[in-house]
Amino acid sequence: MSAVCSRKRLYESRIIQEDIAELAKNLKTYHKCFENQHHLHHKKLKAILLDNFITGYEQQIISDENITFRRHNVIEPFLTDEKIDYIIHAAGIASPVYYTKYPIETMDVGTIGTRNMLELAREKKVKSFLFTSSSEVYGDPDNQYVPTREEYRGNVAVIGPRACYDESKRYGETMCSAFWNVYETPVKMVRPFNIYGPGIRPDDYRVLPNFIEHALRKEPLPIHGDGRNTRSFCYINDGVESIFRVLFSDANGEAFNIGNPEPEISIEELARYVQKAMPYPVDIVKIDPPHAVYSKSDPKRRCPNITKVSAVTGYKPRYSLEEGLKRTIAWFREF
Ligand SMILES: NC(=O)c1ccc[n+]([C@@H]2O[C@H](COP(=O)([O-])OP(=O)(O)OC[C@H]3O[C@@H](n4cnc5c(N)ncnc54)[C@H](O)[C@@H]3O)[C@@H](O)[C@H]2O)c1
């Protein structure tokens, strides 16, 4: 946590304020929640945020009269008298380094945490419930299944360095689906593919913050292994926009890939993008993967087919990798 303690609050960031205003503008025609919203202080919308800060940090919390923050571990039931219309269950431990450190907590939040949030949704008779699952439910797909469609059933190890995360997300989806089938709780599931951007923990250790942190320290960008594995990266505003579009849709019981398939690039190519985006030269270095989670089980390719989310919600990615990187690096420098 020390790396983030001295930093100012995220909502004070110019880049994040611009992103929120842009997001509200883009969603205005999609749902009445976003009408007349040009900034964070929107009178019609109230939110309760829950986080136990296992990987989150206090500076991420927005201080606003319409937003209440409660430090809460979702593996405990959440009790409230408030009326609740929508629930987004995004609690999770998503960075391989952190889920390796906290495997039991990772499984608990995906299983018991998901059950508790679903029980709350059922009790409150919410209009919609959204679970952020993961592209990791697909495991390590064979080439013929990339770009990956929602129907693909996955190539996932039950025991292995990534299993605590992958299997808990798979179970979470099954639980959501059962709540729709048994109680008609209006659930939706999204499977994010490498969403990045301002606000991410600088010491999150996922590839992009890792490259940017090294670049800002003028240290070589460390590529684990040969750098040939591919990913496709999605800027945070596109990710959040697609989450709201799915939340406000009628697609109950459905799972959607969310992300930006363009471009699918190798990690080495990504390092070159970061190099180009920096105002001074930085080197690239290939290193032995520091951990089994990268050396033994890193999926070779990761790229979504987003036809389903586009057809159902009208979502289209707006940010190129160059633009998203520029904004993310600017935010890292701002902080
Ligand atoms: N960013 C991505 O590319 C990506 C990809 C696939 C899936 N996801 C999923 O989307 C969600 C959000 O991801 P993110 O990248 O914003 O991660 P994040 O780490 O920024 O946010 C997740 C938050 O959940 C909190 N949390 C974890 N366990 C908790 C618990 N038991 N109770 C309360 N809070 C808890 C953490 O403290 C953290 O602040 C996660 O569920 C993640 O698994 C993200």
Q: Residue 37: is its pLDDT beyond 60?
A: no
Number of structural domains found in the chain:
1
Domain that holds residue 180: 2-200+234-263+301-319
Does 42 reside within a domain? yes
Three-state DSSP string of 138-157 = HECCCHHHCCECCCCCCECC
* Residue at 25 is within a domain: yes
Residue with the larger pLDDT of the pair 40 and 267: 267
53 lines ligand 1 (CB under 6 A): yes
Helix then strand then coil, in percent of the chain rounded to 5, is 40, 15, 40
Q: What is the pLDDT of residues 162-210, one digit of tens each?
A: 999 999 999 999 999 999 999 999 999 999 999 999 998 888 888 999 9
Find the helix or strand (DSSP H, E) in which 257 lies. strand 254-258
Measuring CA to CA, how many Å separate 98 from each of 9, 16, 17, 53, 271?
Answer: 23, 25, 28, 12, 23
Indicate the pTM of the whole model.
Answer: 0.95
Instruction: Please determine, for residue 7, whether its predicted confidence score (pLDDT) is greater than 80.
Output: no
C-alpha distance from residue 148 to each of 127, 255, 257 (Å): 29, 13, 9
56 C-beta neighbours (distance < 10 Å), count: 16
The answer to whether residue 330 sits within a structural domain is no
Task: Examine residue 275 and state whether it is found in any structural domain, yes or no.
Answer: no
User: Distance between alpha carbon 271 and the CA centroid of its chain, in Å?
Assistant: 21
Instruction: Look over the chain and give the mean of its residue pLDDT values, rounded to a whole number.
Output: 92
Q: Is the CB of 74 under 6 A from ligand 1?
A: yes
Give Cα separations from 145 to 53, 116, 134, 158, 191 (angstroms).
Answer: 36, 33, 16, 20, 16
Q: What are the pLDDT digits (tens) for 280-311?
A: 999 999 998 777 666 667 899 999 999 999 99
What CATH number is attached to the domain comprising 106? 3.40.50.720
Q: Is 229 domain-assigned?
A: no
Name the percent of the chain lying above pLDDT 90. Answer: 78
Q: Identify whether 9 is part of a domain.
A: yes
Residue 165 known to be catalytic: yes
151 alpha carbon – ligand 1 mean position (Å): 24
Which distant-in-sequence residues (6+ apart) come within 8 Å of 186 by Cβ? 126, 127, 128, 129, 180, 252
Distance CA 80, CA 72 (A): 12
Decide if 171 is inside a domain.
yes
Tell me the percentage of the chain whose pLDDT exceeds 70.
92
Question: What is residue 3's predicted lDDT score, i.e. its pLDDT?
Answer: 47
User: Which of 95, 97, 195 for mutating ligand 1's site (highest number of atoms within 8 Å of CB)?
Assistant: 195
The one-letter amino acid at 55: T
CA of 164 to the centre of ligand 1 (A): 14
Any residues with CB less than 8 A from the CB of 64 and at least 6 apart, and which? Answer: 40, 41
Instruction: Report which of 255, 133, 127, 114 is spatially closest to residue 184, judged by C-alpha positions.
Output: 127
- Ligand 1 pocket test, pick from 1, 49, 55 with the greatest ligand atom count within 8 Å of Cβ, gives 55
Is the CB of residue 192 below 6 angstroms from any atom belonging to ligand 1?
Answer: yes
Q: Report which of residues 1 and 52 the model is more confident about.
A: 52
> Does some domain include residue 227?
no
- Among candidate residues 86, 165, 235, 315, the one labeled active-site is 165
pLDDT higher than 80, residue 40: no
Q: Which two tokens stand for residue 227?
A: 């750098």
